[in-house]
Amino acid sequence: MTDWRAQLTVPRAPFIPQVVWVDDPATGDFRAVSRNDDEPRWQALVDVDEPIVTQVDDGATAPGDAGRQPSSSCSQPSLVAAMLTTLDVHAGHRVLEIGAGTGWNAALLSARTGAAGHVVSVEVDPAVAEGARRALAEIGATPSVVTGDGTRGYAPDAPYDRVVCTASVRAIPRAWLEQTRPGGVILAPWGTDYGSDALTRLVVDEAGGASGRCGRGLSFMRIRQQRRDFLEPSRSAMATAATSQTTRRGRELFEMVAFAEAAFTIGLRVPSCYLTVEDLDADHRRIELHDVRSASWARVGLVRGADPWTVHQLGPRRLWDEVDAAYAWWCAAGRPTPDRYGLTVTPAGDHEVWIDIPEDARRWALPAERPGPGR
């Protein structure tokens, strides 16, 4: 088997900004690391097989201040190689990339498509897009970097043989289908608001729809137009929460939040439900569920050795009850793993999931994508 490093024919370092960000375990914030101030540490971050956060808070936080939310990054090299392998790009291909980031992946795609091919990379953040253009120009790579909304694709250079998204999505935009030739491939980290996403590979058909299988679990930043969001109920709101106790035991609760177990299925069956898990210490864990659209929220507070555990629920939806029912469905359905799922997207943009084969009776339509609250 070919080592993944052999697939990365363009060096990573020229694409990493002079300032990157690392998480501070003590505070949960992100702190800047400057190449000018600490080149050995900066270089160590570049060399290791890990993602590098290259922007926080959409660029609003300056070095020296505490960053709260990663908003752009350079992905883990071994994962980049794996996605390139799955995308299966060849010389002469026309490729659309959603999310230019540092520009490194666009350079890798350009090296594969060669002089006869063409790569377009769409980046929503103007400053990030400009950084990618500079880095690509400095090494003589020629992908086109377009500043714009990646969910709209880039129609002027369509059709494409391959479309790849470097951020996660909960809906495949119709524009990507319309701009991909029949037989072309769309590759994206796709999933729901509940937990991690699956690397999903779709093949576009003659009618303009697409279908394919889900694969390995991924934790990518969500595309900005589809970001997840959470609720923080006030003390007074918490006092009005409905309370109950869950009969689920520790192993079941683990399965309910683990991607490789029930979490992927739960997300497919419980729409608009954002899962967060916080380990307060070795003996205390919080599982929370959020739906900002309906202002619904739930929490299960786990204390080691003190079950049964209390459930708090607020809002018109009883999110924990929905998740608990979805877990029961997963158990009754034979406990399907994420790689048994497939996705079909119609030319109209409707999404339908299925298990094992598209004709399986266990298939259902997902709710239409609705605009989130934004940030």
* Active site (catalytic) residues: 75
Q: What's the first-to-final CA gap in the chain, in angstroms? A: 44
Contact 186, 204 (CB under 8 A): yes
User: How many Cβ atoms from other residues are within 10 Å of residue 77's Cβ?
Assistant: 21
Closest among 279, 321, 278 to 296, alpha carbons compared: 321
What residues have CB less than 8 Å from 108, skipping those under 6 apart?
8, 9, 10, 80, 84
Tokens (6 digits) for 363: 């298939």
Strands (E), 219-350: 242-246, 274-281, 284-291, 296-303, 309-314, 341-345
Tokens (6 digits) for 197: 């996403």
CA distance 19 to 35: 6
CA 88 centroid distance within chain: 20
Cα dihedral across residues 109, 13, 136, 103: positive or negative = positive
CA 69 centroid distance within chain: 14
CA distance 96 to 144: 10
**Rounded alpha-carbon distances, angstroms, from residue 232 to 236, 267, 295:** 12, 21, 10
CA distance 241 to 239: 6
Strands (E), 221-375: 242-246, 274-281, 284-291, 296-303, 309-314, 341-345, 351-355, 363-365
Coil vs helix vs strand at 57: helix
In sequence order, the β-bridge partners of residue 150 are none
